[in-house]
A and B are shown apart, each in its own frame.
Chain A
């Protein structure tokens, strides 16, 4: 019994000190004088590795998810004669919830795991230690551009995801299933508000970008410098950041979405 309580305490200490180390990594990486000589070049390089490399998977899954949403939404809505509300259904779902979340999950899997593995291997091969030896702070030199690149790339990827997903929904809904293009777009425009939906999604994706890259970079820096340790750290990155994204997504605006959907269904059911 005492042993179990002790184990619980050890676990609690472990988690707390993990949070502390993560905060210290974050603080020491971003705090301090910006490096104007090499900073911009490293930053660009990392946007390339983190953002541009994630572009293809984001675009492909965006189109497919948009198409699936349109198809699925259509089969439900057409039963109520409400297929003209498809644009509204797809765009609100994507902008408020699905876009930022799925883009962040893909980002965690594609870029987050790569960041962790790269930094973990740098640590295992003692590149980080040798940097310290020659007086270069690895936190600023290695971690800072990666953190900043992730924070910039995530919102861009999420917006691209939303745009191509809506395009995919238009392809399936309008061109294939034959929803009227005019009512599709006008319903969408009257239902979607710029500040409440588009900006809200943008803010969400910035938060997700911060969380995912932070977890990825910290796990890499904190990994046990062996091959097993790096593989465990990579797994932890994907699991922790996916769970963090899903948990954080649960805070805002759950009620509004349900209310809008119910109103639009009722409206179309009764009067068309």
Chain B
């Protein structure tokens, strides 16, 4: 009888701990099992400068999230950044002439990749490469240009 109550209390305690961890994982850190399960295919793109892009950044078309950045590397020959993206399988209309650009949410916010779909007849397969890319806009460069153009006017 007493042993049963004790076991029950311990069970409730351990359950509470696990529920708390699940709450922290799912609700607080936004971890979702759906992303991992969803079928994706990989597309790469080379950028001159990726700014502050990080793995797990979102990839979107017209603002709708369609995938995420899985890996960022450097191509030793061209010394350009190679970004691998996992794109949802349902998005099978990325044409070979699509353009990938690195955009910023807000001016100092998180950076993400925005893809504009082109009109070519062929679509990208798994492991395909987006040729047209736009690098990240670096705020310091912009300010620098602005300052020099101000200086030259005077």
Contacts and interface: CB of A to CB of B under 8 A. Distances in A.
Given A52-B10, A155-B17, A163-B23, A189 B30 contact: yes
Interface in B42-72: none
Contacts of B30: 188-190, 192
Given A156-B17, A156-B20, A198-B25, 9 more contacts: A159-B17, A160-B20, A162-B20, A163-B20, A163-B23, A192-B29, A192-B30, A267-B108, A270-B107
B107 A271 contact: yes
Contacts of B13: 47-48, 51-52, 55, 153, 156
Contacts of B20: 156, 159-160, 162-164
25 contacts: A44-B6, A44-B10, A47-B10, A47-B13, A48-B9, A51-B10, A52-B9, A52-B12, A156-B17, A163-B19, A163-B23, A188-B28, A189-B28, A189-B29, A190-B110, A192-B30, A193-B29, A194-B25, A198-B24, A198-B25, A202-B21, A266-B108, A267-B108, A270-B107, A271-B107
A56 to B, nearest CB: 11
Contacts of A202: 21
Contacts of B12: 52
B14 interface: yes
Contacts of A155: 17
B109 interface: yes
A270 B20 CA distance: 35
A188 B28 CA distance: 6
A166 interface: yes
A197 interface: yes
A162 B19 CA distance: 11
Nearest to A263: B108
Interface string B1-43: 0010011011011101111110111011111000000000000
Contacts of A197: 29
Interface of A: 41, 44-45, 47-48, 51-52, 55, 91, 95, 153, 155-157, 159-160, 162-164, 166, 185, 188-190, 192-194, 197-198, 202, 263, 266-267, 270-271
Contacts of A263: 108
Nearest to B14: A156
List the 10 shortest-distance A-B pairs measured between CB atoms, nearest first.
Answer: A156-B17, A189-B30, A163-B20, A159-B20, A192-B29, A194-B29, A194-B31, A160-B20, A159-B21, A267-B108
Interface of A is mostly: helix
Q: Which residue, B9, B21, B24, B31, has most C-beta atoms of chain A within 10 A?
A: B24
Contacts, number: 82
Contacts of B31: 194, 198
B24 A159 contact: yes
A17 B7 CA distance: 39
A13 B21 CA distance: 43
User: Which one of B3, B20, B30 has the greatest number of beta carbons of chain A within 10 Å?
Assistant: B20
Contacts of A185: 27
B151 interface: no
B106 interface: yes
A35 B17 CA distance: 26
A218 B108 CA distance: 52
Given A159-B24, A197-B29, A45 B6 contact: yes
A271 B107 CA distance: 8
Nearest to B19: A163
A48 B10 CA distance: 6
A41 B56 CA distance: 45
